[in-house]
Every structure is written in C-alpha cells, then in structure tokens.
Amino acid sequence: MVDLRVDDQTVRENSIGRAAKRVTSFIASLVLTFLGLTAITFLISRLTKIDPVLAIVGDKASQAVYDKTYAVLGLDKPLIIQYGAYLKKLLSGDFGVSVLTSQPVLSDLIHVFPATFELATVATIIGVLIGVPAGVLAAARNGRWQDHVVRVLCLFGYSIPVFWLGLVGLFVFYGKLGWVSGTGRLDIGYDDIVTTRTGILLIDAAIDGEWEIFRNAFSHLILPAGILAYFSLAYVARMTRSFMIDQLGQEYVIAARIKGRSFWGAVWVHAFPNVMVPLITVIGLSYASLLEGAVLTETVFAWPGLGQYITRALFNSDMNAVLGGTILVGTVFIGINLFCDFLYKVFDPRLRGP
Amino acid sequence: MSDSLLEVQNLNVSFPGRGGITHAVRNASFELGRERLGIVGESGSGKSTMGRALLGLLPQTAIINAQKMNFSGVDLLNCTEAGWQSLRGRRMSMVMQDPKYSLNPVMTVGHQIGETCKLQLGSNAADAKRRSLAMLEAVKIRNPDRVFDLYPHQLSGGMGQRVMIAMMLVAEPDLLIADEPTSALDVTVQNEVLRILDDLVRDRGMGLIFISHNLTVVSSFCDRILVMYGGKIMEECKASELHNAKHPYTRALIAAAPSLDQLRAELATVKRDPEWLK
Amino acid sequence: MSDVSISLKQWLLSDAPASPRQAFLGNVFRATRTVVKNPSALAGLVIVLLLIVIAIVAPFLDRGISPIAQDLSNRLHVPDAAHWFGTDELGRDIYSRTLYGARVTLTIVALVSVVVAPIGLAVGTMAGYLGGWVDALLMRITDIFLAFPRLVLALAFAAALGPGIENAVIAISLTAWPAYARIARAETVTIARSDFISAVIMQGASTTRILIKHVVPLCLSSVIVRLTLDMAGIILTAAGLGFLGLGAQPPTPEWGAMVSAGREVILDQWWVATIPGIAIFIVSLGFNLLGDGLRDVFDPKSV
C-alpha cells in the first residue's frame, strides 16, 4: 500500500531548485528595473531645456571655454557612455548638488526621508488595523448592509483626490473643530528641542522624555496620517474582502462548521489564515503607493518630507534634487513591488507540493 | 430496529434565485435508526442538499420547512446556532467528497483532527494528540506519527479521505452522513476506504447515511436504500430486495449498470418520464 | 424570404446573427441592457455621459459668464445668485470654471486612452502571438515600466519638459500602458491557439493582418473594461499634477489647479477648493461605477 505520491527526498530537491530560480529571477528583475529607472531619469536630465554647460560657464563665456567645458562634462561622448558614467556616480552615492540647499542631494534625501517614512508607516498601520477586519466583515456578511457599507467606503477611496481630502480635513478638523493641529510637524517654537536620533519625531520625543512635544507631534501627525490611512484602508479592505469571499466558499470552511466551529470561528480560525500570505503582499503594495500619495499630502500639510522636497525642487528647477528624489522614491517603490511579487510566487499554493 | 436517530417528514428545501425558485428537495420523508441508509440519485436529485439540511449547513438563502425533522428527539427545524454547535461534530457528523478541498490547506493533519477533540471533547493538547494518533491508526494509516505533521497537499487521495474520516469520527458521533465519500478516489483505493468506513461504523454502532450516485456500491454497503430523483424520493426498499424494485426509475438505474456476465451491444440508458417529477 | 416581421429588439437578440454587423450591434445592445439594469453602473454611465455633454455644451451652460474673466473687486465671494459657486482669488466665477474644467478632464482622458490602448494592444498582441524571445523581451520591458511610480515619474518629466497638458499626458501614459500590454498578451495567448486562427493562416493572411483584423478585436472588451476602471486613477493623477501646477496652465481652468488655488484660503473661503474637488470626485466615481458594471458584463465571474 503506497502511502504518499512522491517521496520526501524528491519533494525537497524540487523545492530547492524552484526556490533558487525564483530568487535569481527576483534579483534580475530588481537590477533590470533599476537600470530602466535610472535610464529614464538620465534621459529626463538630458531633456531639460537648461543647457548644463551654460549653467556652469555663464552665457558670457567664449566659445573655447564652452567647448572645453563641454568636453570635460563628457557631453561629446555617445549617450551610452554618458549613461554609464551617470550610473557609476549614482552607485557611489553622488546624486549631484542641490541648487536650492547647496548640499549634496543624497544628504538632503537622508535628512528628509524619515518624515515621509513616519507618515507612511503610521498611515499603513492604521489602514491595516481597520481595513483587514472591515474586509473580513464584508466578506462574512456578503450581500448585506455591512458589505455594502464597506464597498461604498472602498469605492470612495478610489475616487477621492487625496490632496482635496487633506484640505477638507484641515478645514473641518483643524479650522472648525480644532481637534488637531494645523500644518507642519510641530508648532513653531517646538523646533530643535528634541535631539534628532532616528528622525522620527514620535520616537525621538519619547526617548528624550519630552511628552509635551510628543503630544504636539502626534496631533500634527494624526490628520495627514489619517487621510492617507483612508486610502490604504480602501485598498486593503477591498482585497481582503475579495480573498475572504473566495475562501469562505471553500469546502474546508463547511468542514470546520461540521466539526462544531461557530460561524466566526470558521471565519477567523480557518479561512483567515489562508489569506494572510496574499494579504501581506497587498499591504506591501499599499505601503509603496502611500509613499507616492505622500508627495501630495506633504504639500497640503507642509510636511517636511521627501514629497515636499521634490515638489519644492520642481518649482525651483533644481533638476538634481528632483531626479535624486525620483530615484529614491522609485527604487523603494520598485523594491517593494517586486519583493511583494516575489513573496506571492513563493507562497502561491498552486506551486506548493510535489 | 433500534432507537430512532432521525425522523424526517415532508422536508422541503428551496432556493430562490435569479430565474425563479428551485425546489431542491420535495416532500422527503424517511426514518433512520442505528442502521445504514443509502441515498442514491443523479446530480441535481437533491441528495446532497438533504444531507446538508440535516446538519443545518445550507446557505442562508435556503428556505427549509418540514412537518417534522428530529434527531434523537431534538427538533432540528427550530434549532438555534448554539443548538447546532452542540450537535455537530459530537452527535452528528459528515464526511465530504474531496479531501483536496475539504481539508484546510494551511493546517497540519494532527491539528485538524485535534481540533475536533478540543471542540467536542474538551481535550487539552496532549489528550488531543493521543486521540488523533489513535484515530489515524484506526483508519489504517501506516505511520501515524509522521502523517500527524503533514499538510493536506502532501497526502494522496486515499490518505486524505482517511484523514477526513478520522477527523469526523474522533468525537464518536451517533450519526454519520457520508456525502459521496469515495467518488473522488481512484477505483483501487475506493474499496479500501469503504472497508475502513464499514469497520468503524459497525464497531461504534453508528447510524450511517451514505449518499452516492453509484447504485452498485450503495446496494452492497447499506441496509436500506432511498432512490431520489428531481428532489423527490422515488423508492424506498431494503438493499436485499433491490431486484424487486417497483419504480420504473429504479429499474432503469439497475438496468443501466453494466455487468460483466451480460453481453450487450449497447448500454441501457434511463428514459425519463416527466410524470415522475409531479 | 418569409414574411414574418420581427421587432428590432428580437433582431438584435437573435441567436443566429446573419452578419458581423448584426452580431456586433447585438452585443452592444446586450451590454447596454445589462449595464442599465444595474443601478450603480447606470449611475456611472449617466455621470460619464454628463461629463461629455457638459464639456461640449459648456458655452450654453455658463450663464454668459466667462471662466477667465477676472474681477478683482469681487474676489473670494460667497456663493450666491450671481455666482452659484462663488468666486476665486481673482474674482473669476467658479461655476463657469468648473464647467469648462470638464473639457480639460475629458481631453486628458481621451488623449491618454488614445495613446495607451494602441501601444498596449500592439505590444501585448505581438508578444502573445509571436512568443519566444520577442515575448520575453517585450514582457520584460513591460514589467520594468509596470514597476515605476506614476506620479513621481510624471513630476520628474514635467520638471524637465515644463508644465502643460501634453507633457502631463505623456508622463501619465508612460506608466499606464503596461497594464494593457499584459491584458492583451494574456488574451492573445489563448486566442493564438484556436482553430480559426489556424484557418486564417492557411488562407495566407500575413501576421500583421491576423493581429489587426482577428486578434485585436477579441482583446478589445478586456482593454475597454480595464481602461474605464483605470480612468478614475488617471483623472486623479492628472488632478494631482494640476494641483502641483503641472497640468493645464492658467488661465485655462483645470480642477486640480483650482483646488490648489483655494488652498491658501481653505479655512475661510472653503468653497474655492472644495467645489472643484467634488467635481473630480464625482467624475472618478462615475468611471469607477461604470467600469465595475462593464466588468460584470464581460466577466461575471470576477468579484
């Protein structure tokens, strides 16, 4: 009597081979996409109407000086070589110098990134904590009023402009109700009290024991984070609902009820663990898109993060800064996207087993 | 016959849908003691629906009514959810058709069998493990310790179905409903699983409802047979008296089963009489 | 020919259409009927049609007030009978500007569609039909573009090329086309194996002809559904660019830019920013509802 289809040894060998293939595929995608991104930013930098030579030598320089600078900048070499040089500089951390701050762009980026990180992370946490149970509820009560409410909320989340909601939020919760603080990360006068360790105000303030500043930072953070959280929630709830509806229709859920599980027991103990893995990739993708949404939200709330840095650079034609920021956001965005794709393939139940 | 486990009188199950109402079960009546009842029918005859109705597991949209539907004196028609939960698993259970779908893919075998113990018998982890291993042995699985830690996708069809049986019988219910328990299995494995089921049901003195489309299997396995068609029970008879069946549908089913001793040029088919649906 | 006269409806719903035209019209009729029966999809259709109508007849609806006429003595006026939606920071009538803003939105929607659908279809059908290294290469390129952040890349683009509708359209299209390539490829792969394609090949049709006349029409429905669903996102991205001053330039009224203009005065004159935002919301909502409805028509299995 043969008990198993394939013996364990074969199963293990197949798995390792497949895993190695997936990892190499992931790394290859990462590298290629990064090259694609930098190729585009390179081309964009060449498209700019500002003549890079004139920017350095001024428009009163002689033709000889112009030609010499042209050669020094390597502008006479074929595009591919120029791209190679550009890539080399990027990989060594040279993103150019910002026209606005006169600082290396990379150090600017490191300075502003934590604020965006704080905003996106808090927003995602709130979005997931509300969105996942909402999606489960909607799936369990499919077709009834709870489902409709959740679906409408999600629908609005796909239709409302984030910058508009931010403004309306400011008007209602700050202007009219006074429940939260206004724009910026802290009230004026609270700057420079807390020592910058992580760049994340909530953490730094807590470490220093400055609870008044902590509260103030929180009341500044909660509105923009809440607004972004709504968009995260809409996406996460919708995907959770979709996954759960699939699972709740499966026979093993009925089998659980036969064993004596209550309805909600079957939902949370049996169906939910089956969606956790795809859900993690959904959360990752949501986080990546929040980084983008932060660009507009930071403008509305004067939040000194990456988004505001890029838009300010934009208005001042600070191409190095714009492109440096684009590369950073792009790389993080791509990294998260591809990693989630990879995770999903790793845990796809269709690829499991012999 | 021993004490009555199930009494069903004029059970009707219908599903409202886009194109009107579907009557899945119509005026079904039968009784069951500690014996084996086979329910035979083709797809759409209502046999599975009736099985699920007896466990209160039909979708919320289903409309169920009957003159009587009792399990050991407990009224199933007006059963609350709490009432159902005290019955399901502990006193009534069901083995489903395909272990590929009816076992939870992300839980180990041991965990799934142990869950029944914890829910119905109040076992702690150690007790649950002990009972699960004993049950795995009872369904003739060769390395219970190893299989205990396996996931469903690592099991073959026959093993999976035996795990399912173990999971549903470990709490020693009085009634087992087997809904097409061997239909998804290879023919060679079917007999083994049936034999295991046979032993377990006999040893524990359980009542069994065996739902299948296969008249031959049902007639050899069960004491009595119900033949269903279009939601109605066409015939009820003892398995030993099957050859004396009166209803033309039953006779047609018997005639349609191919036999090795009869040489035939064409297989017989069932000619359906619309009168049967009235 | 028999003398039986059949109604138009019966002709459209016939199970045995006598010509491709009849079949096509029949499908359009069935699709419209399904959409109309679904209340939310119907609402979406109404909104989208309203957008198109308003964009076209704006001059008849603007009550004679020009969207670019400034009146600095009447800045930031509360909505009243003279100015239904009030006035903005330069005294312009917001109602009129909202109406004409529909034109900008529609223009962007139309331009992006006209760019991404053909590119996506071309890339996807070629990859799916030709297979092999062509498929691998094209899909690799598609995946690379698919992973890019839309808004940020559009920002960088606009920074280099300058603001304006054309650049906004290009920037958005750059990151939007990959989805359609993927869809077209998936459909093409299933179609390529079918018998009628083999028949056409044996009739001597060239690859180009096969792709254009036979493969593309079968991919169209999926592409249209996806396009409608994506439209909301495209409108929001375009509005975001407008909010940052990168879309249509003043004095052309663009809803995103109008919201931005109202930003300074949000606390006191809330209507300046809020009303254009509502317009963006309603239009996005409309496309989302319509897209959901269309998806039910063409693929009832999906959630």
pLDDT digits (tens, 9 = 90+) for A147-184: 999 999 999 999 999 999 999 999 999 988 988 888 88
Q: What was the pLDDT predicted at B270?
A: 79
**Binning pLDDT at 50, 70 and 90, where does residue C118 land?**
very high
Query: Where is average pLDDT lowest: A218-232, A266-280, C179-193?
Result: C179-193
**Binning pLDDT at 50, 70 and 90, where does residue B170 land?**
very high
How far apart are the CA of A264 and the nearest CA of chain B, in angstroms? 12
Per-residue pLDDT at B59 exceeds 70: yes
**Binning pLDDT at 50, 70 and 90, where does residue C300 land?**
low
Whether residue C253 is preceded by a cis peptide bond, meaning omega within 30 degrees of 0, is no
Tens-digit pLDDT profile for residues A42-95:
888 887 766 767 766 777 778 888 888 777 777 777 888 888 888 888 888 888
Name subunits touching B (3+ CB pairs < 8 A): A
Exposure string for A170-197, b = 16+ CB within 10 A, e = fewer: bbebbeeeeebbbeebbeeebeeebeee
> CA-CA distances (angstroms) from residue C73 to B84, C76, C83, C88?
75, 9, 14, 11
Percent of chain A with pLDDT over 90: 40
Query: Where is average pLDDT lowest: A16-20, B143-147, B247-251, C268-272?
Result: A16-20
Q: What was the pLDDT predicted at B168?
A: 95
**Binning pLDDT at 50, 70 and 90, where does residue A352 land?**
very low
Residue reference for tokens 């993060």? A305
The structure's pTM equals: 0.87
- What average pLDDT does the segment C270-278 reach? 91
The residue in chain A having the minimum alpha-carbon distance to the alpha carbon of residue B93 is: A258
> Would you call C281 and A323 a contact, using CB atoms and an 8 Å cutoff?
no
> Would you call B103 and A252 a contact, using CB atoms and an 8 Å cutoff?
yes
Residue B278 has what DSSP assignment?
Answer: -
User: Which residues, 6 or more positions from A104, have their beta carbon under 8 angstroms from its beta carbon?
Assistant: A94, A95, A96, A97, A98
Question: How many whole angstroms separate alpha carbon A295 and alpha carbon A290?
Answer: 9
User: Which residues, 6 or more positions from A290, have their beta carbon under 8 angstroms from its beta carbon?
Assistant: A120, A123, A124, A127, A228, A231, A232
- What average pLDDT does the segment B1-13 reach? 82
User: Which residues, 6 or more positions from B80, have their beta carbon under 8 angstroms from its beta carbon?
Assistant: none
Per-residue pLDDT at A1 exceeds 50: no
The two tokens of residue A32 are 């290629």
> Would you call C147 and A334 a contact, using CB atoms and an 8 Å cutoff?
yes
Other CB atoms within a 10 A radius of the CB of residue C141 amount to: 16
Residue reference for tokens 């609270």? A190
The residue in chain B having the minimum alpha-carbon distance to the alpha carbon of residue A11 is: B154
How far apart are the CA of A12 and the nearest CA of chain B, in angstroms? 12
Q: What was the pLDDT predicted at C4?
A: 60
**Binning pLDDT at 50, 70 and 90, where does residue A351 land?**
very low
User: Which residues, 6 or more positions from A9, have their beta carbon under 8 angstroms from its beta carbon?
Assistant: none
Question: How many whole angstroms separate alpha carbon A278 and alpha carbon B209?
Answer: 39
ipTM of predicted complex: 0.90
Nearest to B168 by CA among A255, A253, A261, A254: A255
Environment class of C294 (CB within 10 Å of its CB; exposed 0-12, middle 13-18, buried 19+): buried
Per-residue pLDDT at C303 exceeds 50: no
Per-residue pLDDT at A349 exceeds 70: no
How far apart are the CA of C79 and the nearest CA of chain A, in angstroms? 18
- What average pLDDT does the segment B78-95 reach? 91
Residue reference for tokens 């006026």? C77
- What average pLDDT does the segment C91-101 reach? 90
User: Which residues, 6 or more positions from B68, have their beta carbon under 8 angstroms from its beta carbon?
Assistant: B7, B8, B9, B10, B77
Per-residue pLDDT at B134 exceeds 70: yes
Disruptive mutation site among A34, A35, A164 for chain C (greatest number of C CBs within 10 Å): A164
Indicate the SS3 state at residue A60: coil
Nearest to A36 by CA among C163, C180, C115, C178: C178
> Would you call A258 and B103 a contact, using CB atoms and an 8 Å cutoff?
no
**Binning pLDDT at 50, 70 and 90, where does residue B3 land?**
low
Question: What is the average pLDDT score of chain A?
Answer: 86
Question: How many whole angstroms separate alpha carbon B212 and alpha carbon B227?
Answer: 10
Question: How many whole angstroms separate alpha carbon C98 and alpha carbon C87?
Answer: 11
Residue C93 has what DSSP assignment?
Answer: B
How far apart are the CA of C33 and the nearest CA of chain A, in angstroms? 23
Q: Which of A44, A162, A329 sits opposite C157 (nearest CB)?
A: A44
- What average pLDDT does the segment A263-287 reach? 93
Disruptive mutation site among B97, B154, B161, B164 for chain A (greatest number of A CBs within 10 Å): B154
Per-residue pLDDT at B163 exceeds 90: yes
**Binning pLDDT at 50, 70 and 90, where does residue B1 land?**
very low
Residues of chain A contacting C243 with CB distance shorter than 8 Å = 161, 163, 296, 299
Q: Which of C141, C236, C289 sits opposite A161 (nearest CB)?
A: C236
**Binning pLDDT at 50, 70 and 90, where does residue A9 land?**
low
Q: What was the pLDDT predicted at A275?
A: 93
- What average pLDDT does the segment B90-114 reach? 93
- What average pLDDT does the segment C250-258 reach? 90
- Tell me the Cα Rg of chain B: 19
> CA-CA distances (angstroms) from residue C109 to B59, C165, C283?
44, 11, 11
Q: What was the pLDDT predicted at A49?
A: 66
Q: What was the pLDDT predicted at A164?
A: 95
Percent of chain C with pLDDT over 90: 29
- Provide the CA C97 distance to its chain's centre, in angstroms: 21
Query: Where is average pLDDT lowest: A67-76, B81-90, C294-303?
Result: C294-303
